[in-house]
């Protein structure tokens, strides 16, 4: 039988991938979409674009409502005055949620910069009454509270700077590349340790992408770089500076990933603040999705879209805190784990593993017992992870020992996700039968 501990492999060509260790252990981070589009909240001139095109265009409103760059800027930038913004609150929430890193939009497709930049005056310091460097306040606070900090940066020729009407803000491609270069240098130089560079929608050519990746490595050798630095058309082996594979938005892969991977996910349709969408995922959905991501060997970057005043919404913080309380008890089954030892799920849920322990994430309770196959040997002990005394649960066997059953009480200790730790004497191995 082969050992089914799947080693994580970095996509990049780094000989030494020790900069990936914290990221692999972290498993769970906070994504923040915030910018001028948050003021519009999916609506423009009385029309709700948040429900258009499959219901996902709050941060896309400039594109969806075909708003000229000048009008978008002149309408929204003077209104950007999020007096409730408090970096300490956001970072504390991420911590309480059990998240180990934070990635915020420093510039989205609308081209607006949430940081102090000399590359364009279309930024929070020069174009808004707020005049506070959001990236600075958050990076400082993350450093203080011990959370890894990173930025999302949309590097393609954004809607503001590429405006076809040759209006204010329009740049030639050459000028635009200079802006990106300058922006990156600033982000990589002025904010202390930059732990993640989350590029998006790489449509740029390979030479440009490689130059941008090389610059990140040069200025922040430990930063973890998102594969969206490159166009999806670039084969993985040519994505020289991509550290992890960013799965398509909101995708949970069907099978285990063999390279470092991350899924980004929203709690409703949009990424940016949406005034009207109430299709919230439940607390159980989140705890479940987190477990399934870990079972596939995938990090989860879960999004919040703060409101125009700078508040993370109560619906978001409630869910994050609830999932955080679950993590406080069950984090051992997520942090530092590798994917399931088997490439299938069970009727009750899925597994993660660490050393000689398998964690059964029981998403659907089966009072008749939690049954699994696929592993060799008999476990030495099973217990609820929420039980500080680790009181042993009864283990029984069927089918000549190929099927193991953990006997459980009638009621699920946690209806969202009850974790059962199953310890083995030897390294966990797959059963060829
Ligand atoms: O930042 C978030 C999205 O805005 C961004 N990536 C995540 C992390 C993103 N950029 N491009 N895309 C997502 C894919 C574009 C999908 C589209 Fe559509 C479908 C564009 C038009 C139709 C989504 C739905 C945006 C507008 C409507």
Nearest-angstrom CA–CA distance, 162 and 175: 10
> Could you tell me which residues are beta bridge partners of residue 384?
420
Report the residue among 200, 248, 300 best suited for mutation to probe ligand 1: largest number of ligand atoms under 8 A from its CB: 200
Q: Which atom of ligand 1 is nearest to the CA of 108?
A: 1
ipTM of the prediction: 0.95
Which residue intervals of the chain bear CATH 3.20.20.80?
18-333
> Could you tell me which residues are beta bridge partners of residue 226?
244
Q: How far is the CA of 19 from the centre of ligand 1 (A)?
A: 29
- Cβ-based neighbour number of residue 222 at 10 Å: 13
Q: How far is the CA of 335 from the centre of ligand 1 (A)?
A: 30
CB hemisphere CA count around 335 (13 angstroms): 15
pLDDT at position 168: 73
18-333 sits in which CATH class?
A: alpha beta
pLDDT at position 55: 54
349-423 sits in which CATH class?
A: mainly beta
Q: How far is the CA of 271 from the centre of ligand 1 (A)?
A: 9
Report the residue among 31, 56, 251 best suited for mutation to probe ligand 1: largest number of ligand atoms under 8 A from its CB: 56
Which residue intervals of the chain bear CATH 2.60.40.1180?
349-423
Q: What is the pLDDT of residues 87-144, one digit of tens each?
A: 999 999 999 999 999 999 999 999 999 999 999 999 999 999 999 999 999 999 999 9
Q: How far is the CA of 58 from the centre of ligand 1 (A)?
A: 10
pLDDT at position 1: 25
Who lines ligand 1 at CB under 6 A?
33, 53-54, 56-57, 59-60, 64, 200-201, 249, 264, 271
pLDDT at position 12: 63
Cα separations (Å) of 268 from 118, 304, 307?
35, 9, 14
Which residues of the chain have a pLDDT value below 70?
Answer: 1-15, 52-56, 164-166, 433
Nearest-angstrom CA–CA distance, 95 and 324: 8
> Could you tell me which residues are beta bridge partners of residue 224?
196
Q: What is the pLDDT of residues 300-356, one digit of tens each?
A: 999 999 999 999 999 999 999 999 999 999 999 999 999 999 999 999 999 999 999
Nearest-angstrom CA–CA distance, 381 and 391: 9
Pairing of strands 28-32, 101-107: parallel
Nearest-angstrom CA–CA distance, 226 and 230: 9
- Atom 16 (ligand 1) nearest CA: 56
Q: How far is the CA of 26 from the centre of ligand 1 (A)?
A: 26
Among 36, 15, 192, CA closest to 114? 36
Burial class from Cβ neighbours inside 10 Å (0-12, 13-18, 19+) for residue 342 reads buried
Among 328, 381, 372, 323, CA closest to 352? 372
Cβ-count burial 190-217 (b if 16+ within 10 Å, e if not): ebeebbbbbbbebebeeebbbbbbebbb
């Amino acid at each position: 039988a082969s050992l089914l501990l799947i080693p994580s492999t970095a996509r990049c060509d780094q000989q030494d991938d020790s900069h990936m260790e914290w990221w692999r252990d972290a498993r769970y981070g906070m994504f923040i979409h915030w910018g001028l589009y948050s003021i519009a909240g999916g609506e423009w001139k009385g029309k709700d674009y948040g429900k258009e095109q499959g219901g996902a265009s709050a941060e896309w409103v400039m594109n969806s409502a075909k708003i000229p760059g000048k009008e978008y800027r002149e309408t929204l930038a003077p209104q950007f005055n999020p007096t409730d913004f408090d970096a300490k609150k956001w970072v504390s929430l991420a911590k309480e949620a059990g998240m180990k890193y934070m990635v915020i939009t420093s510039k989205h497709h609308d081209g607006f910069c949430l940081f102090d930049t000399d590359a364009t005056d279309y930024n929070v310091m020069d174009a808004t009454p707020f005049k506070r460097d959001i990236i600075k306040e958050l990076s400082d606070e993350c450093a203080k509270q011990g959370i890894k900090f990173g930025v999302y940066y949309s590097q393609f020729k954004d809607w503001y700077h590429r405006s076809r009407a040759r209006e204010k803000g329009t740049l030639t491609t050459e000028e635009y590349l200079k802006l990106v270069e300058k922006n990156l240098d600033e982000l990589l130089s002025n904010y202390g340790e930059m732990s993640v560079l989350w590029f998006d929608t790489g449509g740029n050519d390979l030479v440009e992408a490689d130059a941008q990746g090389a610059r990140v490595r040069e200025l922040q050798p430990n930063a973890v770089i998102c594969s969206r630095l490159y166009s999806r058309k670039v084969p993985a082996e040519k994505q020289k500076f991509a550290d992890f594979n960013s799965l398509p938005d909101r995708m949970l892969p069907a099978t285990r990933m063999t390279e470092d991977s991350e899924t980004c996910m929203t709690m409703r349709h949009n990424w940016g603040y949406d005034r009207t969408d109430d299709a919230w995922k439940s607390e159980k959905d989140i705890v479940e999705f987190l477990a399934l991501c870990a079972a596939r060997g995938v990090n989860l970057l879960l999004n919040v879209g703060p409101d125009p005043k700078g508040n993370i919404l109560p619906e978001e913080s409630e869910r994050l805190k609830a999932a955080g309380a679950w993590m406080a008890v069950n984090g051992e089954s997520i942090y530092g784990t590798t994917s399931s030892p088997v490439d299938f799920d069970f009727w009750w849920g899925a597994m993660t593993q660490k050393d000689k322990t398998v964690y059964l994430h029981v998403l659907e309770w089966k009072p008749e017992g939690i049954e699994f196959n696929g592993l060799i040997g008999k476990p030495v002990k099973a217990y609820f992870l929420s039980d500080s005394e680790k009181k042993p649960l009864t283990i029984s066997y069927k089918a000549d020992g190929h099927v193991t059953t953990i006997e459980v009480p009638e009621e699920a200790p946690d209806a969202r996700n009850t974790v059962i730790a199953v310890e083995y004497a030897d390294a966990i191995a797959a059963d060829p039968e």
